[in-house]
Structure 1
Amino acid sequence: MSVSVAAVQQRAPVSAPAFVRLLARLGDVGAPSAGPALSERLGQWIDWNRAIALSRALDAVPTPGSFPTQAEGEAAACARVRASLRTAIMRTDKLEKLTGEDFAPFRRHCVDLQRSLLASTGPLRGRLRDALATGSPEQARLAEVDAVMEMTLSPREHALLATTPTLLGQYFERLKRANADAPDDAWLPTFRRDLQDVLLAELDVRFHPIEALLAALRTSHVSGTP
């Protein structure tokens, strides 16, 4: 007897951010066991020379610069990029042409969109850092710290995000097997929606540091700092 789509999707809740919860459910992964504290994990990820760079960024006393006044312009640019990426993820014309015969076309679709997310969000983050670097000493320090953190954590982030297509592929195969008797790939619309949800969650993850930098840039603008 075949298993329903709902049965394949149902998993024990995972206490984690939305993106991780989605991947855990679709990848048929149980809730992760309690791991080491964040500070301990960072200590394992950061090698000694990058730890020195981070320490220097935290301890530095930057010289004051001119305060940025382009906060709203940068906010508008970020909003445009995010809306464009969301539109690309939500487009159904390409997805609806893909059948349930093989996951490979879905993998290419997912990887292409992930590359677009990376290519679009990276420059935004850099632009916001450049703007902060011309602001107050605190903002300049934040920009330097963010640059070091991105250099340190990006390789690990990229490696983890690269597993997304693999987990989606496993989910695809489970749905296909569980609904082998269903007519006309009735399970496929569910898979397409879940694929979009995962990519939307990844979009949110990639915008977290951008939103934090933008909030810091807006601080001086809103407060009317000269």
Structure 2
Amino acid sequence: MAQHTGRAGLTGTALVRLLAGMGDAPQRAGEPCAAFADGLVQWVGWTDAIALSAALERPAASTVNPQNRYAGEHAEYERVRATLAQAIGRESQAAGRSPLEAGMGFAPYRQCYVARQQAMGVALAALRERVRAALAACGPDAARLAAVDAVLAQALAVQEQRVFAAVPARLEKHFQRLCAAEAGPDAFRADLQAVLLAELELRLQPVEGLLEALRRHTPSGCT
């Protein structure tokens, strides 16, 4: 899958920086990022490598479609991104405010975070599949890139889920520190929203890579 050059590497993502900043004590530059990112590298096993090799080497049965698919797919990307971001803002600011949630501690915030993660997972999987299909229709080389992305998505799914599932626990520790410091709940809601938005940006990167590949394989001037 083509890399989106406008994005920072994993250790430079906003999600990593935010979570590192919520630690108990300051650490030397680079250490928090490296520690958190350690679980996101070296994930492709030998069986996945075989599938990747096959995706790269097999002839791609695709014919060139001269239609400009990029504009439509990019518009859908912007729509999905905006919808998810708006839901994050709305739900994170509503978390913990209900009278029924009073005295429940971190539980309402955990429920909010996990629900938003699930929503992101469903929406972005469908978006990624859609953009991948558009790329696959742009010729043999593009179809090969789409096939590689499909293999990578499957190979990394379990590991990605494990890492993202650990974020609420990190937030809970931050919540407890804020409570001990007698910080107001609005301060934590702001942090909750910031971390969710950062996770959204991280989850969007594979789609952005596909969109960049689609742009490069779209005939200029076509509509």
**Which residue number in structure 1 is paired with residue 162 of structure 2?**
159
Give the share of equivalent positions with the same residue, in percent.
Answer: 42
User: In the alignment, residue 19 of structure 1 is paired with which amino acid?
Assistant: L
User: In the alignment, residue 144 of structure 1 is paired with which amino acid?
Assistant: A
**Which residue number in structure 2 is paired with residue 52 of structure 1?**
50
Q: CA RMSD in A?
A: 2.6
Shift of 1:218: 2.1
Alpha-carbon distance change, 202 to 161 in structure 1, aligned in 2, over 3 angstroms:
same
1:189 equivalent among 179, 186, 191: 186
User: 1-side partners of 2:13 and 2:104: how far apart?
Assistant: 32
Runs of 5+ in structure 2 lacking a partner? 1-10
User: 2-side partners of 1:152 and 1:188: how far apart?
Assistant: 39
Shift of 1:70: 2.5
Q: Where do 1:189-208 residues align within 5 Å? A: 189-208=186-205
2:64 equivalent among 56, 66, 72: 66
Runs of 5+ in structure 1 lacking a partner? 1-14, 180-185
Moved over 3 A (4+): 27-30, 32-35, 98-101
Alpha-carbon distance change, 94 to 224 in structure 1, aligned in 2, over 3 angstroms:
same
**Which residue number in structure 1 is paired with residue 74 of structure 2?**
75
For residues 115-161 of structure 1, the C-alpha deviation after alignment (integer angstroms, 9 at most, x for no partner) is 00001000110111111111122211110110111111111111000
State the secondary structure of the residue aligned to 1:221. Answer: coil
For residues 181-214 of structure 1, the C-alpha deviation after alignment (integer angstroms, 9 at most, x for no partner) is xxxxx42211110100000001101111111111
**Which residue number in structure 2 is paired with residue 9 of structure 1?**
none
**Which residue number in structure 1 is paired with residue 95 of structure 2?**
95
Q: Where do 1:2-151 residues align within 5 Å? A: 16-28=12-24, 30=27, 31-32=31-32, 41-42=41-42, 45-67=43-65, 68-91=67-90, 94-95=94-95, 97=97, 102-151=105-154
- The farther-off stretch of 136-145 and 67-76 is 67-76
Shift of 1:95: 2.7
Q: Assess if the C-alpha contact under 8 Å between 1:19 and 1:205 holds in 2.
A: yes
Q: Over alpha carbons, which structure has the higher Rg?
A: 1
User: 1-side partners of 2:58 and 2:23: how far apart?
Assistant: 44
Shift of 1:176: 0.5
User: In the alignment, residue 95 of structure 1 is paired with which amino acid?
Assistant: A
Q: Assess if the C-alpha contact under 8 Å between 1:125 and 1:209 holds in 2.
A: yes
User: How many residues are paired up?
Assistant: 201
Alpha-carbon distance change, 34 to 95 in structure 1, aligned in 2, over 3 angstroms:
closer
**Which residue number in structure 2 is paired with residue 6 of structure 1?**
none
For residues 75-122 of structure 1, the C-alpha deviation after alignment (integer angstroms, 9 at most, x for no partner) is 111111110100001116523615575100110011101100001000
User: 2-side partners of 1:200 and 1:57: how far apart?
Assistant: 33
Shift of 1:27: 4.2
